[in-house]
Amino acid sequence: MKKIIITDSVDKKCAGILEAAGFEVTYKPGMPKEEIQKVIKNFNGMVVRSDTQVTPDLIELMDNMEVIGRAGAGVDNINLEAATRKGVIVMNTPGGNTISTAEHTMALMLSMCRNVAQSNQSLRSGKWERKKFSGTELWGKTLGVIGLGKIGREVAVRSKAFGMTVIGYDPILSEEIAGKIGVDLVDLETVFKTSDIITVHVPLSEETKNLFSDETLQKCKDGVKLINCARGGIINEVALVKALNSGKVSAAALDVYTKEPPEFTGELIQHPKVVTTPHLGASTDEAQEKVAVQIAEQMVDLFNQKGVRGAVNAAAVESAGNKDLIPYVKLAENLGMLHSQLNMGQLKKININYSGELLHSSMTLLSTAVLKGFLSKKMTAGVNLINAPFLAKEMGIKLNETKLGANSNYSNLMSVEFITDKETRMLAGTVFGNSEIRVVHIDEFHLELNPEGNMLFYANIDKPGMLAKVGKILAEANINIAGLSLGRLDLGKKALTVINVDSEIGKEVVKSISEVGGVTEVYAVKV
């Protein structure tokens, strides 16, 4: 009989489903780590939420563990590398809070527009201030949705029902899918300039951090309203307060903050034009029950050999038996992450070409790894090697795979081409020795790049002094250079430079480098 331990406060329907399937369940939410360490060797399965920290030392004690289930999306509290090395599958339930977060967004939108929270507080204090709290209707307004993943699309559908015109920005959603839900796909500038209300549903990344800043807020309509139920840090809180005080932003509704919990006495939380909630997007009875039921059903199917659903690392566990393939899976994922940060425009198609017998035999896994890397930088939902193909199909992404003959220079080579409405970009990579992943072609340039960590990409005129000017800017920002890769067409013509660095490259540094004469197409990238 399989034994499963639940160490966090998961809805009890999870235990009920597992017990009904014939498993022995130990339900001990809040169990101290020391106690878990004493008994974990006896269990085949484990269910957690976010409280239990599943660390490498705990995983090392899991002599009989087959699966760790996370009732929710994030798996930050589970060490995936240690679990994979141990051969333990890690599962999550990324779609469980879609409806609850979409509905919370609508609740904040209505509350913000009709001053529900402020007027409630006023009335409770004994005041009758009808004129002060006059609001605005949703009908006829233009809603800009930044990020049209599952949650963003659900918000769009609900907003259409209120009679709103919905426009959206999402670089990977196809026009066909957007059209089905009645959303006009536009660029980010158009969202800023034409939206009466803007709601964000994107992950926090270098690309989206401070997406709303002093500069971008000035591009918005006077009196724009903002909603953030995604991640703190997407809206710069200092810039938001300034825009609220000036009237550029007429109202804001926030469920997430740069620091959680936020500064309760700070100007943002106390601002009369702001509606705030304490990160309640997924906090509904239905959502918590849904993820509990979902993780239980996934574990039952796994133990009964009916398939693997929601696994974060199942393919990695499977490929662990082929040591030659492991670095190529990592290479494929990193190529996807690079493309997600280097491509401009609306994605139209992905072409992946494989050379070499090892890659020919593993095309499905490697293509999935490319999609995982790409989507993980673009979506708020947890992306893994199981759900990446489904998410790509849901977004309308077209993928073509081709087997090519032997390459004259490399025994195994994969090239990944992304075609957008603005450009076509190709990255090709291989593995040197047993495990050294390398990018060997970027578009028309041949080079040798280690695609890991923080990197600076830029094009430049191939002439003396260019690298010195960029290096000086990095040095002044206290950014240390760890590696350098160069590619050029001919003396005096276009060249490509990629610099590996030891720390993140901020937007101000990117701006300074972009202002160097002869330097173009500057990107700060992190994989």
pLDDT at residue number 349: 93
pLDDT at residue number 362: 87
- Indicate the pLDDT class of residue 80, thresholds 50, 70 and 90: confident
CB 501 within 8 A of CB 479: yes
pLDDT at 84 over 70: yes
- Look at 460 and 320; give whichever has higher pLDDT: 460
pLDDT tens digits, one per residue of 473-518: 999 999 999 999 999 887 778 999 999 999 999 989 999 999 999 9
pLDDT at residue number 271: 97
- Among residues 397, 402, 399, 370, the alpha carbon closest in space to that of 385 is found at 370
Helix (H, G, I), strand (E, B) or coil at 400: strand
Start and end residues for every CATH 3.30.1330.90 domain found in the chain: 322-452
pLDDT tens digits, one per residue of 405-451: 888 889 999 999 999 998 999 999 999 987 899 999 999 999 999 99
- Indicate the pLDDT class of residue 312, thresholds 50, 70 and 90: confident
Polymer length of the chain:
527
- Look at 246 and 384; give whichever has higher pLDDT: 246
pLDDT at 148 over 70: yes
Start and end residues for every CATH 3.30.70.260 domain found in the chain: 454-527
Q: What percent of the chain has pLDDT over 90?
A: 76
pLDDT at residue number 160: 97
* CA-based R_g, the chain, Å: 25
Fold of 322-452: 60s Ribosomal Protein L30; Chain: A; (3.30.1330)
The CA distance from 105 to 122, in Å, is: 23
pLDDT at 318 over 70: no
pLDDT tens digits, one per residue of 5-38: 999 999 999 999 999 999 999 999 999 999 999 9
The DSSP code for 234 is S
Domain 454-527 class in CATH: alpha beta
**Residues assigned a catalytic role:** 231, 260, 279
Helix axes 326-342, 363-376, angle to 10 degrees: 40
- Mean of pLDDT over the chain: 92
pLDDT at residue number 424: 94
The CA distance from 224 to 365, in Å, is: 45
- 333 φ, ψ (degrees, to nearest 5): -65, -40
pLDDT at 322 over 80: no
- Among residues 276, 271, 277, the alpha carbon closest in space to that of 250 is found at 271
The CA distance from 176 to 179, in Å, is: 5
pLDDT at 321 over 70: no
For the purposes of burial, counting CB atoms within 10 Å of the CB of 161, is it exposed (0-12), middle (13-18) or buried (19 or more)? Answer: exposed
pLDDT at 319 over 70: no
Task: Give me the long-range contacts of 468-473 (CB less than 8 A, separation at least 24).
Answer: 469/516, 469/519, 470/497, 470/499, 470/513, 470/516, 470/519, 473/509, 473/512, 473/513, 473/516
| 179, HSE (Cβ side, Cα atoms, 13 Å) | 4
CB 248 within 8 A of CB 220: yes
Amino acid at 269: I
483-477-377 Cα angle (round to 5): 65
Domain range 98-276, CATH architecture: 3-Layer(aba) Sandwich (3.40)
- Indicate the pLDDT class of residue 344, thresholds 50, 70 and 90: confident
Provide CB contacts within 8 A for 160, sequence distance 6+: 166, 181, 182
The CA distance from 59 to 10, in Å, is: 21
CB 121 within 8 A of CB 111: no
The tokens describing 396, both together, are 């309308």
Start and end residues for every CATH 3.40.50.720 domain found in the chain: 1-96+283-316, 98-276
Domain 1-96+283-316 homologous superfamily, CATH: NAD(P)-binding Rossmann-like Domain (3.40.50.720)
pLDDT at residue number 454: 95
For the purposes of burial, counting CB atoms within 10 Å of the CB of 493, is it exposed (0-12), middle (13-18) or buried (19 or more)? Answer: exposed
pLDDT at 320 over 60: no
Token pair 């499905």 is found at 364
- Indicate the pLDDT class of residue 315, thresholds 50, 70 and 90: low
CB 211 within 8 A of CB 217: no
- 147 φ, ψ (degrees, to nearest 5): 100, 105
Is the bond preceding 261 in cis, omega lying within 30 degrees of 0?
yes
pLDDT at residue number 57: 95
- Using CA atoms, how far residue 512 sits from 68, 386, 469, 500, 509, in Å, is 46, 41, 10, 18, 5
pLDDT at residue number 74: 74
The DSSP code for 292 is H
Amino acid at 109: M
Q: What percent of the chain has pLDDT over 70?
A: 97
pLDDT at 360 over 80: yes
Q: What per-residue string of b and e applies to 27-57 under the rule 16 or more CB within 10 Å gives b?
A: beeebeeeebeeebeebbbbbbbeebebeee
Torsion of CA 231, 237, 242, 244, to 10 degrees: 40
Provide CB contacts within 8 A for 350, sequence distance 6+: 370, 371, 374, 397, 398, 399, 400, 416, 417, 418, 419
- Among residues 438, 441, 352, 367, the alpha carbon closest in space to that of 400 is found at 352
Conformation bin of residue 410: beta by default, left when phi > 0, alpha when psi is -120 to 50: beta
pLDDT at residue number 310: 81
Residue 47: enclosing H or E segment and its boundaries?
strand 45-48
pLDDT tens digits, one per residue of 250-289: 999 999 999 999 999 999 999 999 999 999 998 898 988 9
